[in-house]
Amino acid sequence: MENIYQDVIRLEAEIEQLQAKYAELEATITKRALNYRKGKIKELEAENEDLKEFARHVIRTECWSLYEQDGCELQELAEKLGLIEPQTATENDIDEESDFEIGDTIYKFTEVLKGGET
Protein backbone atom coordinates (compact mmCIF):
# COMPACT_ATOMS: atom_id res chain seq x y z
CA MET A 1 0.00 0.00 0.00
CA GLU A 2 2.88 2.32 0.76
CA ASN A 3 4.29 1.74 -2.74
CA ILE A 4 1.04 2.90 -4.26
CA TYR A 5 1.05 5.98 -2.05
CA GLN A 6 4.64 6.77 -3.12
CA ASP A 7 3.69 6.22 -6.76
CA VAL A 8 0.79 8.64 -6.40
CA ILE A 9 3.05 11.26 -4.82
CA ARG A 10 5.66 10.75 -7.56
CA LEU A 11 3.02 10.99 -10.30
CA GLU A 12 1.55 14.15 -8.78
CA ALA A 13 5.04 15.69 -8.76
CA GLU A 14 5.54 14.67 -12.40
CA ILE A 15 2.17 16.19 -13.31
CA GLU A 16 3.18 19.47 -11.67
CA GLN A 17 6.48 19.44 -13.58
CA LEU A 18 4.67 18.73 -16.86
CA GLN A 19 2.15 21.50 -16.19
CA ALA A 20 4.98 23.94 -15.51
CA LYS A 21 6.77 22.83 -18.70
CA TYR A 22 3.52 23.20 -20.66
CA ALA A 23 3.02 26.75 -19.34
CA GLU A 24 6.62 27.59 -20.26
CA LEU A 25 6.19 26.24 -23.80
CA GLU A 26 2.88 28.04 -24.21
CA ALA A 27 4.50 31.34 -23.14
CA THR A 28 7.37 30.77 -25.61
CA ILE A 29 4.97 30.04 -28.47
CA THR A 30 2.86 33.09 -27.62
CA LYS A 31 5.97 35.30 -27.54
CA ARG A 32 7.15 33.95 -30.90
CA ALA A 33 3.71 34.47 -32.43
CA LEU A 34 3.58 38.05 -31.16
CA ASN A 35 7.07 38.78 -32.51
CA TYR A 36 6.10 37.30 -35.89
CA ARG A 37 2.95 39.44 -35.98
CA LYS A 38 4.91 42.57 -35.04
CA GLY A 39 7.36 41.88 -37.87
CA LYS A 40 4.53 41.28 -40.32
CA ILE A 41 2.81 44.50 -39.23
CA LYS A 42 6.03 46.48 -39.79
CA GLU A 43 6.41 44.90 -43.24
CA LEU A 44 2.82 45.80 -44.16
CA GLU A 45 3.24 49.33 -42.83
CA ALA A 46 6.33 49.81 -45.03
CA GLU A 47 4.44 48.49 -48.08
CA ASN A 48 1.56 50.82 -47.26
CA GLU A 49 3.90 53.83 -47.08
CA ASP A 50 5.42 52.92 -50.46
CA LEU A 51 1.98 52.66 -52.02
CA LYS A 52 0.98 56.01 -50.52
CA GLU A 53 4.14 57.64 -51.86
CA PHE A 54 3.43 56.27 -55.33
CA ALA A 55 -0.22 57.36 -55.21
CA ARG A 56 0.74 60.88 -54.06
CA HIS A 57 3.26 61.14 -56.89
CA VAL A 58 0.73 60.00 -59.50
CA ILE A 59 -1.93 62.40 -58.22
CA ARG A 60 0.50 65.34 -58.07
CA THR A 61 1.92 64.71 -61.53
CA GLU A 62 -1.14 63.43 -63.37
CA CYS A 63 -4.00 65.32 -61.74
CA TRP A 64 -2.49 68.53 -60.43
CA SER A 65 0.21 69.20 -63.00
CA LEU A 66 -0.14 71.12 -66.24
CA TYR A 67 2.19 68.67 -67.95
CA GLU A 68 1.68 65.00 -68.66
CA GLN A 69 4.10 62.69 -66.94
CA ASP A 70 6.49 60.45 -68.75
CA GLY A 71 5.64 56.80 -68.12
CA CYS A 72 9.33 56.06 -67.54
CA GLU A 73 9.35 58.30 -64.46
CA LEU A 74 6.39 56.43 -62.98
CA GLN A 75 7.99 53.10 -63.85
CA GLU A 76 11.27 54.14 -62.19
CA LEU A 77 9.45 55.23 -59.03
CA ALA A 78 7.41 52.01 -58.95
CA GLU A 79 10.61 49.98 -59.29
CA LYS A 80 12.38 52.04 -56.61
CA LEU A 81 9.47 51.43 -54.22
CA GLY A 82 9.45 47.69 -54.94
CA LEU A 83 6.08 47.67 -56.67
CA ILE A 84 7.41 46.27 -59.94
CA GLU A 85 10.57 44.39 -60.84
CA PRO A 86 12.48 43.81 -64.06
CA GLN A 87 12.39 40.34 -65.57
CA THR A 88 13.51 38.78 -68.81
CA ALA A 89 10.63 38.14 -71.19
CA THR A 90 9.93 34.49 -71.91
CA GLU A 91 7.67 32.76 -74.39
CA ASN A 92 4.90 32.80 -71.75
CA ASP A 93 4.97 36.62 -71.70
CA ILE A 94 4.41 37.04 -75.44
CA ASP A 95 0.92 37.49 -76.88
CA GLU A 96 -0.69 39.31 -79.82
CA GLU A 97 -0.49 42.66 -78.03
CA SER A 98 3.14 42.37 -76.90
CA ASP A 99 5.52 45.05 -78.09
CA PHE A 100 8.60 43.17 -76.89
CA GLU A 101 10.44 39.99 -77.76
CA ILE A 102 11.77 37.00 -75.85
CA GLY A 103 14.87 38.10 -73.95
CA ASP A 104 13.81 41.74 -73.61
CA THR A 105 13.59 43.27 -70.16
CA ILE A 106 10.00 43.68 -69.05
CA TYR A 107 8.47 44.74 -65.73
CA LYS A 108 6.06 42.73 -63.63
CA PHE A 109 4.23 43.43 -60.40
CA THR A 110 5.95 42.30 -57.22
CA GLU A 111 4.03 40.36 -54.57
CA VAL A 112 2.91 43.68 -53.08
CA LEU A 113 0.69 44.38 -56.10
CA LYS A 114 -0.03 40.93 -57.52
CA GLY A 115 -3.09 40.22 -55.42
CA GLY A 116 -4.90 37.35 -57.11
CA GLU A 117 -2.81 37.62 -60.30
CA THR A 118 -0.46 34.85 -61.36
pLDDT of 50-71, one tens digit each?
999 999 888 888 777 777 767 7
Distance of CA 28 to the CA centre of its chain: 23
* pLDDT confidence band for 41 (50 / 70 / 90): very high
Give CA–CA dist 21/117, Å, rounded: 45
Beta-carbon contacts of residue 62 (< 8 Å; ≥ 6 apart) = 68, 69
pTM score above 0.85: no
Q: What is the 3-state secondary structure (H, E, C) of 38-106?
A: HHHHHHHHHHHHHHHHHHHHHHHHHHCCCCCCCHHHHHHHHHHCCCEEEEECCHHHCCCCCCCCCCCEE
pLDDT of 11-28, one tens digit each?
999 999 999 999 999 999
Give CA–CA dist 10/4, Å, rounded: 10
